[in-house]
DNA sequence: TTGTATGCGTTATCAG
DNA sequence: CTGATAACGCATACAA
């Protein structure tokens, strides 16, 4: 019985020494880089197992410059939209044998910059970012502009951003939803939205306003509620103010609304609700709700595709893709 | 040869050369490790900014063996319980100036092992794991047993696990909830649960069964539904089978139930519902639902505390903490 | 087929 | 206060 050193980490040297070969041979066995005699290979593998040796990823990545890991940066992991996005991206990337590292910025610009610095300093081979930035400027300092690391921006557009991107446009679907409400006699339509600086929220709000104006309905600012955290209070306010319909224009606000409705015995018949959800999920659940559905699988697969294209061809033209969400009426299959 | 040098990453050497000092001096400036003359310091900092230099985290971690990063492994990021847990842990760790890296295992044992290998090979200084394993055995090969890396297990217990842990016990609160239902005349009580191999789910199911027996109500297996993905179908089945109350014994299943109820015009009065949610959130939302509430903040802070204690004192005794969830009746403050 | 030597970017030691 | 230089663990070109 050989006593394994319990204090120090076991390295390639230990394996080599124990097996009576050179570190190069061990390395070759691990990476299949150069043919190794079957007998030696067996011995090395046996020794590796005995010593419970695992190559130091840090050292290896540091040496090779490749980590086979993709960094995924999202602003709010507790928002099911992003959680679901992460899962979709993960499953695609796993097929390609890439590991995913997730970081949550909590909508904080500082954290976002920190994380990007962390990831880009040798930790990942590529980056997918749902940024909480409005302008590209602050990112300039931390994102290797020379294409050293491929980057794809997603879901939230950043002005003047010189990278590939996939966005979702909700303008048309939001307009359709408001139109539907108006056509069904609603005039007092509440609008709940999330962070008022990011592109998707602004776009939806604009669509809401434009549609009201199109139908000559005056915009009432007190029907428009900004919801930084939970929406319960503002939903109550909207109802108290006489709204007969509510557009819950983010995934998070929609979940809040659903809870509020059930908790307070409100039905869709009483106060119409337009909810924003992922299409893959909503088709199974909220079939009787007016919905704006986001193509989350498509978003994920497109982002990954862009990333790998960029890896293969770093100097190709920048691609900006826009996917469309769609407005869906209740199935009423009750 | 495969090292992509044409994208010339800027290193400490470049800074040193440009500033006309040694790499040691640059390093000293960056890390405040040794006093540097104010004048030189300024020059170096200026040069760093000019060249937009960022220390390679990989190289640094490789050299120092410390990364100031904690790995957080969860089985299902789209489960709001874990998403919320992540956020809580993050905010505590940020105070201590630690970065958090999140990995999602998708309830896959293989992925869990892969991630642990990745993280423990020099990427993080500590690990917090909500494992999807039942037994410790498979983890043995990948987790440095010598305390080289501190590890805390959380939320799901793993048999024979030789590490610190914080669990939540739902036995008492689940029993109370079923008791409450029985006392209010319910006899046909449906039970929805998630993965049937993990400790929390088993515990809840046991509590449900034991309570029924205690009140001499026969256990009807068709009222017990296992829900791997979405619960909508099984909720419908339970109602069709005549259940007058449902225990939705996980966060995920609870959200599904809430959606199903609203979408199908079911009220709590019609079919009683016991939901499992985070306490910090539920107190704002589902105030009129029978609830089992999980102390998520406490869970997070306790896990971090254990981790840092372990770091400070690697050889102290293993601590296994159990927190209790609590059963809460509706406020009926409608 | 295998071993030797080198260097990746950084920090730490020790002279100067 | 500052500068050489030696490690850290690994992969690889090249020599044997």
Q: What is the pLDDT of residues A230-241, one digit of tens each?
A: 999 999 999 999
Separation in Å: D14 C1' and A17 CA? 22
Task: Give the nearest chain B residue to A144 (CA atoms).
Answer: B9
Q: Which residues on chain B are in Cβ contact (under 8 Å) with A103? A: 99-102
Fold classification of A12-55 is 434 Repressor (Amino-terminal Domain) (1.10.260)
Residue B3, CA: closest nucleotide via C1'? Answer: C8
- Which positions ≥6 away from B267 have C-beta within 8 Å? A262, A265, B261
pLDDT tops 60 at residue A29? yes
Q: Looking at the complex, report in whole angstroms how far the Cα of residue A101 sits from the nearest Cα belonging to chain B.
A: 6
Q: What is the pLDDT of residues A185-221, one digit of tens each?
A: 999 999 999 888 888 899 999 999 999 999 999 999 9
pLDDT tops 70 at residue A252? yes
The pLDDT, as a whole number, for residue B25 is 92
Residue of B86, B99, B259 lying closest to A118 (CB–CB)? B99
> Can you give the pLDDT of all 334 residues of chain B as single tens digits?
223 333 467 889 989 989 999 899 999 998 888 888 889 999 999 999 888 888 888 888 888 888 888 999 999 998 999 999 999 999 999 888 788 889 999 999 998 998 898 888 878 889 999 999 999 999 988 887 767 789 999 998 899 999 999 999 999 999 999 999 999 999 999 999 988 888 889 999 999 999 999 999 999 999 999 998 899 999 999 999 999 999 999 999 999 999 999 999 999 999 999 999 999 877 778 999 999 999 999 999 999 999 999 988 888 999 999 999 999 998 764 4
Among residues A304, A312, A316, A298, the alpha carbon closest in space to that of A96 is found at A304
Q: Is the Cβ atom of B28 within 7 Å of strand D at any atom?
A: yes
Sign of CA dihedral A37, A42, A43, A44: positive
**Closest residue (Cα, C1') to C9:** B59
Which bases of chain C are contacted by protein, using any atom under 7 A from a CB? Answer: 1-5, 7-14
Residue A36, CA: closest nucleotide via C1'? Answer: C1
Three-state secondary structure string covering chain A: CCCCCCCCCCCHHHHHHHHCCCHHHHHHHHHCCCCCCHHHHHHHHHHHHHHCCCCCHHHHHHHHCCCCEEEEEECCCCCHHHHHHHHHHHHHHHHCCCEEEEEECCCCHHHHHHHHHHHHCCCCCEEEECCCCCECHHHHCCCCCCCCCCEEEECCCCECCCCEEEEEECHHHHHHHHHHHHHCCCCCEEEEECCCCCHHHHHHHHHHHHHHHHCCCCCCHHHEEECCCCCHHHHHHHHHCCCCEEEECCHHHHHHHHHHHHHCCCCCCCCEEEEEEEHHHHCCCCCCCEEEEECHHHHHHHHHHHHHHHHHCCCCCCCEEEEECEEECCCCCC
- The pTM score is 0.87
The pLDDT, as a whole number, for residue A146 is 67
- Which positions ≥6 away from B302 have C-beta within 8 Å? B166, B321, B323
Task: Give the nearest chain A residue to B94 (CA atoms).
Answer: A111
CATH classification code of B64-167+297-322: 3.40.50.2300
Domains B12-55 and B64-167+297-322 share a fold: no
Separation in Å: C8 C1' and A98 CA? 23
> Is the Cβ of A77 closer than 8 Å to some Cβ of chain B?
yes
| Contact assignment for A258 to B262 by CB distance below 8 Å | yes
The pLDDT, as a whole number, for residue B307 is 94
Pick the CATH number of A171-295 from 3.40.50.300, 3.30.70.260, 1.10.8.60, 3.40.50.2300: 3.40.50.2300
- Which positions ≥6 away from A37 have C-beta within 8 Å? none
Best B263, B271, B275, B296 residue to mutate vs chain A (most A CBs within 10 Å): B263
> Is the Cβ of B117 closer than 8 Å to some Cβ of chain A?
yes
Q: Looking at the complex, report in whole angstroms how far the Cα of residue A121 sits from the nearest Cα belonging to chain B.
A: 5
> Is the Cβ of A264 closer than 8 Å to some Cβ of chain B?
yes
> Is the Cβ of A23 closer than 8 Å to some Cβ of chain B?
no
The pLDDT, as a whole number, for residue A312 is 85
> Is the Cβ of B127 closer than 8 Å to some Cβ of chain A?
no
Separation in Å: D13 C1' and A112 CA? 40
Mean pLDDT over all residues of chain A?
A: 90
The pLDDT, as a whole number, for residue B9 is 79
The pLDDT, as a whole number, for residue B144 is 77
| Contact assignment for A87 to B94 by CB distance below 8 Å | no
H/E stretch holding B8:
none
Range with lowest mean pLDDT among A10-19, A223-232, A279-288, A292-301: A279-288
Residue of B58, B86, B144 lying closest to A77 (CB–CB)? B86
Separation in Å: C12 C1' and B315 CA? 28
Residue B176 phi/psi, 5-degree rounding, is -60, -40
> Is the Cβ of A50 closer than 8 Å to some Cβ of chain B?
no
Q: Is the Cβ atom of A24 within 7 Å of strand D at any atom?
A: yes
Residue of B102, B117, B285 lying closest to A259 (CB–CB)? B285
Q: Which residues on chain B are in Cβ contact (under 8 Å) with A141? A: 52
Task: Give the nearest chain A residue to B61 (CA atoms).
Answer: A58
> Is the Cβ of B315 closer than 8 Å to some Cβ of chain A?
no
> Is the Cβ of B301 closer than 8 Å to some Cβ of chain A?
no
The residue ranges of every structural domain in chain A are 12-55, 64-167+297-322, 171-295
> Is the Cβ of B13 closer than 8 Å to some Cβ of chain A?
no
Separation in Å: D2 C1' and B162 CA? 49
Q: Which residues on chain B are in Cβ contact (under 8 Å) with A143? A: none
**Closest residue (Cα, C1') to D3:** B22
Task: Tokens for B167, please give them.
Answer: 């669990």
Residue of B57, B120, B265 lying closest to A121 (CB–CB)? B57
| Contact assignment for B58 to A122 by CB distance below 8 Å | yes
Q: Is the Cβ atom of A121 within 7 Å of strand D at any atom?
A: no
Task: Give the nearest chain A residue to B262 (CA atoms).
Answer: A262
């Amino acid at each position: 019985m050989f006593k394994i050193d319990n204090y120090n980490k076991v390295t390639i040297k230990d394996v080599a020494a124990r097996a009576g070969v050179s570190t190069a041979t061990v390395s070759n066995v691990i990476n299949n880089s150069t043919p190794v005699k079957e007998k030696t290979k067996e011995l090395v593998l046996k020794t590796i197992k005995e010593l419970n040796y695992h190559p130091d990823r840090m050292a290896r990545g540091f040496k090779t410059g490749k980590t086979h890991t993709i960094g995924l940066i999202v602003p709010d992991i507790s928002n099911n939209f992003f959680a679901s996005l992460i899962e979709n991206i993960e499953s695609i990337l796993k097929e390609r044998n890439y590991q995913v590292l997730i970081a949550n910025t909590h909508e904080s610009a500082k954290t976002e910059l920190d994380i990007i610095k962390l990831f880009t300093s040798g930790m990942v081979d590529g980056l997918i970012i749902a940024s909480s930035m409005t302008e590209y400027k602050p990112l300039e300092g931390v994102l290797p502009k020379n294409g050293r690391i491929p980057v794809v921006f997603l879901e939230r557009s950043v002005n003047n951003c010189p990278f590939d991107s996939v966005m979702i446009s909700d303008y048309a679907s939001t307009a359709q939803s408001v139109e539907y409400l108006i056509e069904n006699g609603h005039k007092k339509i509440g609008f709940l939205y999330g962070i008022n600086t990011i592109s998707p929220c602004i776009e939806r709000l604009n669509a809401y306003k434009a549609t009201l104006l199109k139908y000559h309905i005056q915009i009432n600012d007190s029907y428009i509620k900004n919801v930084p955290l939970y929406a319960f209070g503002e939903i109550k306010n909207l109802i108290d103010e006489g709204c007969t319909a509510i557009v819950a224009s983010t995934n998070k606000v929609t979940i809040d609304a659903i809870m509020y409705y059930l908790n307070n015995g409100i039905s869709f018949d009483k106060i119409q609700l337009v909810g924003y959800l992922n299409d893959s999920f909503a088709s199974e659940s909220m079939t009787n709700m007016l919905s704006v559905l986001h193509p989350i699988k498509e978003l994920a697969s497109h982002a990954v595709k862009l990333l790998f294209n960029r890896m293969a061809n770093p100097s190709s033209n920048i691609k900006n893709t826009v996917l469309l969400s769609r407005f869906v009426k209740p199935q009423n299959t009750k």
